[in-house]
């Protein structure tokens, strides 16, 4: 989930911009009256933990070789709570339309899904805390900038999240090769969350069982499944097409 910001000025600007920084590593022999002293003061003012370490440890941690004695661990974008997504749908006065990702680990896939979600009018993307790609700079690049506009909620338990969404009257539609329904034959005009499985293994058993309907994408060639981002794009656009015909 983290990316590194290295160097005095980049770290200072990141703090000024209120980037979600989890921790800052600073050389333990820094000059308190110099630029690193300013970083420490700004970090404490912003409530960012500071860890002092020796230069050799910083050199090992550095990805650029130009840390200048300071490395910040930051997210490409802050995530929100599930309740924030529900609030966004209410504010839009639209039936909820979410995408829940069950263990997408490839940053390129995650970025591509977020890009399509933005284009298809999805209210938010939900990702798990564990065993999944986080919002790294690689994801941001793969999204072609869409990450800046898509709200992403991070949850600790996908099954419990699905139960919570069910209680809100949101229909869970799992996209899986085992689905008996054609993805184009489902009504997406209601409140929905599309549940997309991980690359290669699809939806986990417990998540598959909790879906209210499982849909699949017809395949006529020799390959048995589609890339996760391609599969999700097809279903998101079908949902967008149907929802565009019906008032919220």
| Residues 103-147 pLDDT 10s | 898 989 999 999 999 999 999 999 998 778 878 777 888 888 888
Same domain, 93 and 164: yes
Q: Domain ends where: 75, 102, 118? A: 75
Q: What percent of the chain has pLDDT over 70?
A: 97
Same domain, 29 and 109: no
Same domain, 37 and 159: no
In the block, tokens 């900038």 appear at 145
60-77 confidence digits (pLDDT tens) = 988 888 889 999 988 777
Same domain, 119 and 191: yes
Q: Total structural domains in the chain?
A: 2
CA atoms within 13 A on the CB side of 24: 31
Same domain, 30 and 118: no
Lowest mean per-residue pLDDT among 31-35, 98-102, 103-107, 159-163: 31-35
| Residue 126 CB-density burial (10 A; 0-12 exposed, 13-18 middle, 19+ buried) | buried
pTM: 0.74
Which pLDDT belongs to residue 98? 98
Q: Domain ends where: 44, 75, 106? A: 75
Same domain, 115 and 166: yes
Which pLDDT belongs to residue 241? 96
What is the mean predicted confidence (pLDDT) over 207-228?
Answer: 88
Local confidence band at 248 (pLDDT 50, 70, 90 cut-offs):
low
Tell me the CATH number at 111: 3.40.1280.10
Same domain, 62 and 98: no
Asked if the model's pLDDT at residue 4 lies above 50, the reply is yes
Asked if the model's pLDDT at residue 14 lies above 80, the reply is yes
Residue bearing the bigger pLDDT, 236 or 20: 236
Which pLDDT belongs to residue 1? 47
28-71 confidence digits (pLDDT tens) = 988 888 889 999 999 999 888 899 999 899 999 888 888 899 99
Same domain, 69 and 90: no
Same domain, 64 and 89: no
In the block, tokens 């009018």 appear at 121
Q: Which domain holds residue 161?
A: 82-244
Same domain, 159 and 88: yes
Residues 112, 115: Cα–Cα separation, whole Å: 5
Asked if the model's pLDDT at residue 100 lies above 60, the reply is yes
Tell me the CATH number at 36: 3.30.1330.30
Same domain, 147 and 200: yes
Same domain, 129 and 218: yes
- Say what the alpha-carbon torsion angle 107, 16, 83, 125 is, to the nearest 10 degrees: -20
Q: Domain ends where: 30, 47, 75? A: 75
């Amino acid at each position: 989930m983290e990316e590194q910001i290295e160097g005095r000025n980049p770290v200072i600007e990141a703090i000024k911009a209120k980037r979600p920084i989890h921790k800052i590593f600073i050389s333990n022999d820094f000059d308190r009256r110099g630029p690193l002293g300013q970083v420490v003061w700004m970090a404490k003012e912003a409530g960012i933990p500071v860890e002092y370490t020796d230069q050799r440890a910083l050199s090992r941690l550095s990805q650029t070789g130009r840390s200048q004695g300071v490395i910040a661990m930051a997210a490409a974008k802050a995530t929100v709570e599930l309740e924030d997504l529900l609030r966004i749908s209410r504010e839009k006065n639209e039936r909820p339309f979410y995408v829940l990702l069950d263990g997408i680990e490839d940053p390129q896939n995650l970025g591509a899904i977020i890009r399509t979600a933005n284009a298809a009018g999805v209210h938010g993307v939900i990702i798990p805390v564990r065993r999944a790609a986080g919002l790294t700079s690689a994801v941001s690049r793969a999204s072609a900038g869409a990450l800046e506009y898509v709200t992403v909620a991070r949850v600790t338990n996908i099954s419990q999240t699905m139960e919570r969404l069910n209680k809100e009257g949101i229909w869970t539609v799992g996209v899986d090769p085992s689905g008996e329904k054609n993805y184009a034959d489902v009504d997406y005009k209601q409140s929905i969350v599309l549940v997309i499985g991980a690359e290669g293994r699809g939806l986990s058993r417990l998540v598959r069982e909790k879906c209210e309907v499982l849909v699949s994408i017809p395949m006529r060639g020799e390959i048995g499944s589609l890339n996760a981002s391609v599969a999700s794009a097809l279903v998101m656009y079908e949902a967008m097409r149907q929802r565009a015909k019906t008032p919220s």
